[in-house]
Chain A
């Protein structure tokens, strides 16, 4: 029994050590945001000698960060709705229908997991500029959704495998159409998969830099991740104080949402993982 207790203590210590490794950076980030830039590059890890809100004043005074966050929110929100809707329906088609060629289409989807996103930049850019839709939210949503689909379709398909075919057969015998079966029976069951996918992709999309940097140039359409680059000065001199203040502001909403919804997110992960 003593041995067991000792083991438990060691486990607890390890867990706490790892915890420090994981959250220290976030704390550092907030401390960095209240340091003057000069102090930041001279002694990045010391506590600020003179805490200042100047960085925040700098960032908030031009009001742009609010606009950037709104743009990010728009892109993230619409992308999530599309990802969930499209992958839930496509996954349903690929799992509960008996149609020839289904497997091929499924492999075709999963193939996308392996494609590096950078290759889309030039072709999509040319495509967008011909269509005149650069600098729009859509230009970011299309690749975000497209590249999220493979994995989320895969997750939905493996979830649907757990939905007994008898359930669907019974519904069809009762005269339910495939659509009604989906909306009333299958989709509501998938709540946890939806939450898993949404929580994963909301963060990835919110933080995306590469698509935004390529397809957006007007400051009215910039997203938060791009806005962080506004504090680069002449010849590469970065105002790190302001940058960190902007980062602190920009990660606050996802952080708050995450803590607020945490119960559902981890529950969703639990279910999503065990059934996915």
Chain B
């Protein structure tokens, strides 16, 4: 709860940021919503069509494919970034030397441009010339699994998800590591004395203590994955067929390749709503019972105060 009551100062601090935000984010949203009720090919006048775009959307098979794909993409990316990131952060806490160096190097993939990453993975996945992944499979005797991962309908989606996950794993690892080492050792040293195992300490003590960080990173990486665009777009542009189509690539294609700006905007509005739902659910799940209790108390006090006035 704040302490300063000066309203003018409040506005002076808030408004510059708020204005930038409204202009860059809200104005386009408002325009998108407006456009989602129009039919417009980019030339000539816009034509108001009511809910036609939304109706078309719910009759569009590709829309459902993209939606499902997006969920799978989400699961792969998030589990890579969080699970792998967290796992290595924990391992790293047991390291005593060269920690800084390792951390620094883990972070490096974040710095590389998408164009380079996509070309790298295209080479890794390919069969002609034999890419790294397939060379590896051959080396361990799994010749039967050798395939062109990006061209195969059943593997394309996973193949475009992995680079995105891989890219930011290091960043999340650094954040988790930072959170873990900053914990006060006395808290779990006591548990150790009481005979708790390392695993128990990890799950019963350390994890709950960094819960807030996990929520923050989960939000970052979920919304990041829902907006995921450039790697899938550059690697397969949704193909083969629509096997690796995501909501965002489909929206982009509809608006900019097919010139259906209205329909594209309807898809955009759907993505926004979808993202809000996900984040809302996340908050609900993570808000513990005590927090809810505390909030209710707070509300009751407020009401009390209002009545007193």
Contact = CB atoms under 8 A, between A and B. Distances in A.
A258 B176 CA distance: 19
Nearest to B213: A273
Interface stretch (B48-56, B59-67, B104-112, B145-153): B104-112
**Residue from A113, A250, A251 whose CB has the most chain B CB atoms within 10 Å:** A113
Given A15-B91, A243-B115, A119 B10 contact: no
Interface string A85-103: 1110110111111110010
Contact of B119 (A92, A111, A142, A240): A240
Contacts of A42: 129
Contacts of A109: 18, 21
Nearest to B22: A146
Contacts of B203: none
Contacts of B112: 25-26, 29, 207, 247, 251
Interface stretch (B189-197, B236-244, B272-280, B285-293): B272-280
B179 interface: yes
Interface residues of B, number: 91
A105 B104 contact: no
Contacts of B131: 44-45
A19 B84 CA distance: 12
A184 to B, nearest CB: 15
Q: A interface, by DSSP: helix, strand, loop or mixed? A: helix
Question: Secondary structure at chain B's binding surface: helix, strand, loop or mixed?
Answer: helix
A90 B256 CA distance: 35
A114 B275 CA distance: 5
B4 A97 contact: yes
B109 A22 contact: yes
B16 interface: yes
Contacts of A7: 94
A18 B108 CA distance: 12
A115 interface: yes
B178 A270 contact: yes
A224 B230 CA distance: 16
Interface residues of A, number: 101
A25 B49 CA distance: 49
Given A146-B25, A165-B1, A22 B105 contact: yes
A244 interface: yes
B35 interface: yes
A82 interface: yes
Interface string A28-68: 11000000000001111100000000000000000000000
Contact of A116 (B107, B116, B275): B275
Contacts, number: 274
A89 B17 contact: yes
B271 A95 contact: no
B117 interface: yes
Contacts of A146: 20-21, 23-25
B92 A97 contact: no
Interface in A117-141: 117-124, 127
Interface string A239-276: 01001100100110011001100110010011111101
A147 B157 CA distance: 27
Interface in B113-134: 113-117, 119-120, 123, 129, 131-132
B91 A11 contact: yes
A69 B279 CA distance: 36
Contacts of B278: 114
Contact of B4 (A85, A168, A244): A168
Interface string B1-42: 111111101111110111011011101110110010000000
B88 interface: yes
Given A124-B28, A169-B3, A273-B175, A111 B115 contact: no
Contact of A209 (B115, B178, B272): B115
A12 interface: yes
Contacts of A26: 108-109, 112
B100 interface: yes
Given A251-B113, A266-B103, A94 B248 contact: no
Contacts of A178: 4, 6, 9, 13
Contacts of B120: 25, 28-29
A235 interface: no
8 contacts: A14-B91, A18-B106, A97-B3, A116-B248, A118-B229, A120-B25, A168-B4, A269-B174
Interface of B: 1-7, 9-14, 16-18, 20-21, 23-25, 27-29, 31-32, 35, 88, 91-92, 94-95, 100, 102-117, 119-120, 123, 129, 131-132, 135, 166, 169-171, 174-176, 178-179, 181-182, 212-213, 216, 219-220, 223, 226-227, 229-230, 248, 251-252, 255-256, 261, 265, 268, 271-272, 275-276, 278-279
